[in-house]
Structure 1
C-alpha cells in the first residue's frame, strides 16, 4: 500500500498577472493540489472545481476576510510590480510592506504553512540598486516569520504557458530566444511550467536551500513529489 499524501490547500496571489496566472494553471492541473484560494482585486477569469476566489481591494487590510484565510498549508505569493518608472517609496510599499503584511497575517492564521515568494533574478540585499535591496530585505524578513518553510524563487526570463491570458505580449515576439538563452544561462531562463511545478514540489520536500536561482527552480521542478 502506498504512502498516504497529505492534502494540499494553497493560497495564490497575483493571478491576474502573468506569473500568478501560470502558477494557478499548474496548480489546477496538478493532482498534488486539492484546493486553491485566489485573492484578487478583480476576477481572475478562471472557473474550476478546486478554485475559490475572494475579491478584495485592500491588501494592506485583511481584517474583513481573515476568517476565510485559515486552513491552508501553502501560499504562492506572485504579486508584485516592476521598479521601472516607479518612485522608491511606492516600490518599497508595494514590494516590502505589502508582502510582509500578507505574510504576517497568513503566518498567524496557518501553522505549518509553506510560503513561496517570487522574487527575481539579481535580488541582493547588499546590491547597488534600490530594487535589489528591497527584494533582498523582503526575502530575509520572510525567513524570520514562523512559517514551516520559506522559499524565495529568483526566476529571470520566464517562458509563459501557451494558453495564458495575462502573458505580456512582447513574449510572443522573443520566445524564439528562449532555447539560446537557456543554453547560455540556466539561471536566467525557465519556463512557467517549471516555476509552478517547483512551488508544488516544494510542499513535499524539506529543502535546506531557501533561495532558489533559475537552475535550482529547474531542478526542483523535475523532482518527484
Structure 2
C-alpha cells in the first residue's frame, strides 16, 4: 500500500508515520507539510509545501496512492470561528477534493476528536466545525472514508506533543499510563494503537465510518 500522510510532525502524525515505516504492508510513505520531519527511511519521501490550500503546483506528485492519513489540526483555543473554520474545514476539504479527483480508489482517514458534533448545531464551536468537516468528507466519492475520534492519547516510543504545556503533562503522567489504559479503556488509547488502527482499517475496512477510542483499542 502506498500512503500519503499530512501532518507528520504532530503527535498523531508522528505516531502514524512510525507505524507505517514499521509495517511491511506499507510500500511507501509520502509526507506533505509545511515542515519536514527530518527522518530518513528507504520508503519515506517528504514534500515540504507552504500553502496547503493550493496543491495545484504539486498535483503530479499526488497520484497513485491507496490511502491518505490526514492528521493536520490545531487547537481552537483563542481562535475565532472564522479562523478555525478556515484551517480545520476549508483546508481539509480543499486537500480532500484534490485527492479524490486524482485517486478515486483511495481510502481517506481524517483525525478529529471525541465529542465532535455531527449535528453541526451544538454549542461548542470546535465540535460544530469538526462535525461539518466530517460530514462533508463522508460525502466525497472516495473508496472509503473514516473519521477517527480519539479521546486521550498516551504518547509512546518517543512521540512528543508540539505544545510544551501538553508535553509537560504527558511527562508527569507517564508513570500512570498503564493505570489510565486500564481504568478508561473506552476513552483512552495510545499513540501506537491509533497508528496501528489507522493502518488496519485502511487495509481491511471497518463496519462504520466513525472510529472512537474503544474501536482503536480493539485493533
Normalising by structure 1, report the TM-score: 0.90
**Cross-structure match for 1:92:** 85
Is the 2:159–2:191 Cα contact (8 Å) retained in structure 1? no
Q: Distance in 1 between matches of 2:174 and 2:96?
A: 33
Displacement after TM superposition at 1:21 (Å):
1.0
Q: SS of the counterpart of 1:212?
A: strand
Q: Distance in 2 between matches of 1:81 and 1:165?
A: 15
Displacement after TM superposition at 1:11 (Å):
0.4
Displacement after TM superposition at 1:76 (Å):
0.3
Q: SS of the counterpart of 2:132?
A: helix
Which deviates more, 179-188 or 21-30?
Answer: 179-188
**Cross-structure match for 1:210:** 209
Structure 2 unaligned regions, length at least 5? none
Q: SS of the counterpart of 1:203?
A: helix
Q: SS of the counterpart of 1:120?
A: coil
Normalising by structure 2, report the TM-score: 0.92
**Cross-structure match for 1:12:** 5
Q: Distance in 2 between matches of 1:121 and 1:23?
A: 18
Q: Using a 3 Å threshold, how does the CA distance of structure 1 residues 165 and 216 change in structure 2: closer, same or farther?
A: closer
Aligned partner (choices 13, 31, 44) of residue 24 of structure 2? 31
1:58 aligns with 2:31: no
Displacement after TM superposition at 1:73 (Å):
0.7
Q: Deviations over 1:21-74 (max 9, x none)?
A: 111011001111110000011221111000011110001100010110000010
How many residues are matched? 213
Q: Distance in 1 between matches of 2:74 and 2:146?
A: 19
**Cross-structure match for 2:184:** 185
**CA RMSD for the aligned pairs?**
1.4
**Cross-structure match for 1:44:** 37
Q: SS of the counterpart of 2:186?
A: helix
Q: Deviations over 1:178-210 (max 9, x none)?
A: 333323322321011110011110122232210
Q: SS of the counterpart of 2:31?
A: strand
Which deviates more, 94-103 or 199-208?
Answer: 199-208
Q: Distance in 1 between matches of 2:178 and 2:77?
A: 27
Q: SS of the counterpart of 2:139?
A: coil
1:110 aligns with 2:109: no
**Cross-structure match for 1:146:** 141
Q: SS of the counterpart of 2:203?
A: coil
Q: SS of the counterpart of 2:167?
A: coil
Q: SS of the counterpart of 1:162?
A: coil
Q: SS of the counterpart of 1:45?
A: coil
Structure 1 unaligned regions, length at least 5? 1-7
Q: SS of the counterpart of 2:115?
A: coil
